[in-house]
Structure 1
Amino acid sequence: MPQTLAPPAPTPNRAPAVGASPDPELRALAERHGLTVSGARPSLPEYTRQLWHRRHFITSFASAKLTAMYTTAKLGQLWQVLTPLLNAAVYYLIFGVLIGTKRGVHDFVPFLVTGVFVFTFLQNSVMAGTRAISGNLGLVRALHFPRACLPISFCLAQLQQLLYSMGVLVVILLCFGQVPTWSWLLVVPALTLQFVFNTGLAMVMARLGAKTPDLAQLMPFIMRTWMYASGVMFSISLIIQGKHLPQFVVVLLNGNPAAVYIDLMRFALIDSFKANQLPPHVWAFAAGWALLAGVVGFVYFWKAEERYGRG
């Protein structure tokens, strides 16, 4: 009796792979009616235009985050000023009194407080940027907007906090004999350049933190190491004076972006901090770091725009 072959099983219809090109007719139909891929990354100029159109959201979100930061504390917004002041007091006790780094540094208290305030601005911006995406997944997944709004708004909130603290810094400077001069106006370009640098670095950290949330636990140790290498509590020029350090170490210490922005602020505000204490071409360093971090950070963050909040 001849054996009957069973008909082949029908091949199931498989869904097209994610990212596969659609049917040419379907693609043409979508293009004709202005349809685009859901969540597709816009071009860089279009992305920049979208950010500009949402500038009011960025500023409002920054103010809201700053207000909500201390709502549960009894002293409220006063902690914006108390936190860097308490840090400065601790560093003065440990480094200025016990270790003696104030020797050879004129106007050590203004020197120290200025360094603490400026580095706190950098540190808080980077820390907030690291959690900008991973800490706001609900917002990222629920609403469509350029994700760069988040790290920019967090850095803007930190700038607002620094401006509040600057009032206390001015009082401290006046109490320790500093007289307002035209050089105080240099604070504006110095803070502008640092804000651009902080925002670019925060964007880099936001993308890295979105992929690796554990990075937020590591950042405090990295930032603390960076602070000790930035001359916050001591003068870098006095520390390296008389030591036969390799030239690349001297260049790294003087070109450290945190130290550059701190030195610019000290030069602007403190009478005894003279130009010979600044590294060569310090304004070129400050502008170069701001341009490098701002451009690279923005492009690096934009490259992963369609992946934020997924998976």
Structure 2
Amino acid sequence: MRSGPVIDHLAPERYQPGWLPGSVARHAAGLDMLPVGSPGKVGVLHLAFERVGGRTELTGHYQKTPLQIARPLYYDPERPDMPYLMFMSSGGGVLQGDRYRIDVSCGEGSSVHLTTQAATRLYRMEQDYATQLVNLTAGPGGYLEYLPDTVIPFADSRYYQRLRVTVAADATVVLGETLMAGRLARGERHAYTAYCSDVEVRDTSARLLFADPLRLVPGERPVTGPAVMAGFGLLSSLYVVTAAQPARLVADTMHAVLAGTGLRAGASVLPGDRGAWARILGDRSPEVEAALQLTWNAVRELLLGVPAPDRRKQ
């Protein structure tokens, strides 16, 4: 691996959010078990990718359990230059007091697909809360996909995620998020205490291109209205930040696919015509995942001229 600036990955200011929504911050407390910062409570991934010899290679790698990665795979015959990387957690889920941080930088001309091993389970939390900070950077001419599996907040969980993306003017970033209202088969629909997230996308001068905050706090305000989950069991979002095609064309392509799914869904242009985004609502995980796959496939065909590979984990 190539050397770079020395970073203290375990400094508290790196894995502790500098700011939290009040609905999560109010639950801050000491833990009777392992306190914040103990071994196994702080997960860190720091990854760097560069284009080397005609394909993208992992050139920088630091990990701390419970976060880790599988070996990059080059399994897409349509894009043999693009590695597919899976984030994994040895803990099986997110616990109270957990603090995770993921940093991924993609150098000039690199192409990377990032996903997770399985659904992210947010376990019951009686003390404190859990957080995850994700920072993604796509350099000039880069193509980055971040499509994690569904997040499932268990009853009484408290969680905050901040996803910050820095994108070069001619780079493309495809972001996906899917949230389930809880363990629906067990009757836990919106039984979590607080689920809050922030998506922030900026250019290389740190200028904000757009932000999408989500605040779901069932004990404070309804989370089933038309502006949130509207009584559905799953909410999925897909953001396509690109200048490779006109924003309206990207939005129309996504909307045309979603119109044929029969789900409550739609697409629109991002602020400043920096791309497009889509929202999908449904009651069953398979149908929402299928709609997301179809939309991602249409985006792939439009931007890269190749279909999306099967996302099923082997």
* TM-score normalised by the chain length of structure 1: 0.30
Greater strand percent: which structure? Answer: 2
* TM-score normalised by the chain length of structure 2: 0.29
Which structure has more RCO (C-alpha within 8 Å, separation ≥ 6)? Answer: 1
Q: Computing the radius of gyration over CA atoms, which structure comes out larger, 1 or 2?
A: 1
Greater helix percent: which structure? Answer: 1
